Amino acid sequence: MDDIEAVLLDMDGTLVDSDGAVERAWRRWAADYQVDPETVLRISPGKTALTTIRQVAPHLDDQAARRAARYQTELQLADAVDTKPLPGATCLLDTLDRLALPWAVVTSADADLAAARLGAAGITPPVLVTADDVRAGKPDPEGYRLAAARLGVPAERCLVVEDAPAGIAAGQRAGARVAALRGHPADLRIPDLHALVALLTPPAAG
């Protein structure tokens, strides 16, 4: 890990525990739009609401799809207050600051939802890239490339930390090394964020 100059972190499922809120919102949305909830939950991780809706409800025109995405985000916003950092998140961010490693959060959530979840979890990223900052969401690499540029670090010198296939693909397409949670294949597989702290922390002298 000696060549890593910055760390780019996904938000939901990586830094913060929002799984329950995400699932509740998508199940409510699926019921309202008469879409199979299991299909939605299978394909939505790591993607923007609009991307998911275009896949599961292709009959909606662009305006209707955007309205549906706003509604889905409103459902998640209403449930964001109980968001908490995942185990190891606080330790990881403290370690990055101690090592003077720049870091950013790159999320498929919009700016309002990202602010609500990160605020509830007590996390203030020095750089935040949301769905509002890019033209294409994950698995497109634009978000990770933008975060690297804002930190002033080549993407090839960044470590992306992700928990979903779409985000892993985005990091790899950006040219970064990718550490994956939840057993997904990537350059590194980590069981939790504590394991990442151990990889980043130089061994004690002696």
Where are the chain's structural domains? 6-17+83-200, 19-77
Which residue from 194, 196, 202 is spatially nearest to 178, judged by alpha carbons? 196
Q: Which residues pair with 90 in a beta bridge?
A: none
Q: Per residue in 145-189, pLDDT tens?
A: 999 999 999 999 999 999 999 999 999 999 999 999 999 999 999
Check residue 82 and give its pLDDT: 82
Choices 2.60.290, 1.10.3470, 1.10.150, 3.30.420: CATH for 19-77: 1.10.150
H-type helices in 125-204, by residue range?
A: 142-151, 165-173, 193-200
Return the CA Rg of the chain. 17
> Are 6-17+83-200 and 19-77 equal in CATH topology?
no
Is 10 marked active-site?
yes
Most distant pair of Cα atoms in the chain: their distance: 65
Q: Per residue in 25-76, pLDDT tens?
A: 999 999 999 999 999 999 999 899 999 999 999 999 999 999 999 999 999 9
pLDDT at 205 > cutoff 60: no
Q: Per residue in 99-113, pLDDT tens?
A: 999 999 999 999 999
Q: In the predicted model, what is the mean pLDDT of residues 118-140?
A: 96
Which residue from 82, 136, 81, 117 is spatially nearest to 9, judged by alpha carbons? 117
Q: Per residue in 77-104, pLDDT tens?
A: 998 888 999 999 999 999 999 999 999 9
Is 61 marked active-site?
no
Check residue 178 and give its pLDDT: 98
Give the C-alpha separation, 88 to 137, whole Å: 26
> What angle in degrees, to the nearest 10, is found between the helix axes of 19-33 and 62-77?
140
Given 2, 10, 19, 140, which residue is catalytic? 10
Given 12, 17, 79, 110, which residue is catalytic? 12
Q: In the predicted model, what is the mean pLDDT of residues 202-206?
A: 58
Grade residue 204 by pLDDT with cuts at 50, 70 and 90.
low
pLDDT at 206 > cutoff 50: no
How would CATH label the architecture of 6-17+83-200? Answer: 3-Layer(aba) Sandwich (3.40)
Query: CB of 96 within 8 A of CB of 8?
Result: no
